Structure 1
Amino acid sequence: MVRISRVLLRDAGAGISKTISEILVCPLSKQPLRFCEKTNSLISDVIGVSFPIVDGIPCLVPKDGKILETDDTLKPDGDADSLVMNKEG
C-alpha cells in the first residue's frame, strides 16, 4: 500500500491522465476543458477561465478558477477573435 502511495505522489505533478481530461467539463459552462502543460491547469476556452491542478487533482470549484487574459485563451487553432467577441457581447 505504501509503495502505491509513493508512486501516486511521484506522478501527481505530471498533470492528469488523458481519460480523465476527456471526461471533465467546466463547472460553469459545462463545455470540455483543455489541459495546458505550461500552467498545469485545465482551461475553459468558452469562458476564458483556468482551473489549477494541485497535486494531480483538478480544482474545479468555481471560486478556484482564474479569469485569463485574451492572449491566454487562444484555442489550439488560434481563433481568438470569436472569444473576445463572445466575452464582450
Structure 2
Amino acid sequence: MVRLGKALMKEVGSGISKTLSEILVCPLSKQPLRYCEATNSLVSDAIGVAYPVKNGIPCLVPTDGKILDSDEGSNSDGAAGSSARK
C-alpha cells in the first residue's frame, strides 16, 4: 500500500500521474477523465465538465467542477461542438 502511494506521489509536480488518471472517473457520469495540461484539470468529455487539480490532487467534488464552453471541449476530437443548437 505504501509503495503504491509513493508511486502515485512521484509525479505530483507534473500534474497527475498516469496510474492515477487511469483509475479516476467523473463523479457524475462515471466515465473516464482526460488530463488537460493547459488548464491543469481533469476533463469529463461525456458531460463537458473540468475538475481542477491542486498540488497534484484532483478535486472531484461535483461543486468544484467547471462547465466548459463548447469551444473548450471541442479541442479533443471535435465531438463536443457537434451538439451546439442554432
Q: Secondary structure at the match of 1:76?
A: coil
User: Normalization by structure 1: what TM-score?
Assistant: 0.75
Structure 1 residues without counterparts, runs of 5 or longer: 1-7
Q: Does the aligned pair in 2 maintain the 1:24–1:32 contact within 8 Å?
A: yes
Q: Deviations over 1:9-28 (max 9, x none)?
A: 9x534111111101100000
* Matched residues, number: 77
Structure 2 residues without counterparts, runs of 5 or longer: 1-8
Which one-letter code corresponds to 2:16 in the other structure? I
Higher Cα radius of gyration: 1
- CA distance, structure 2, for counterparts of residue 77 and residue 65 of structure 1: 21
Identity of aligned residues (%): 64
Alignment RMSD: 2.0
Please name the residue that 2:26 is paired with: 26
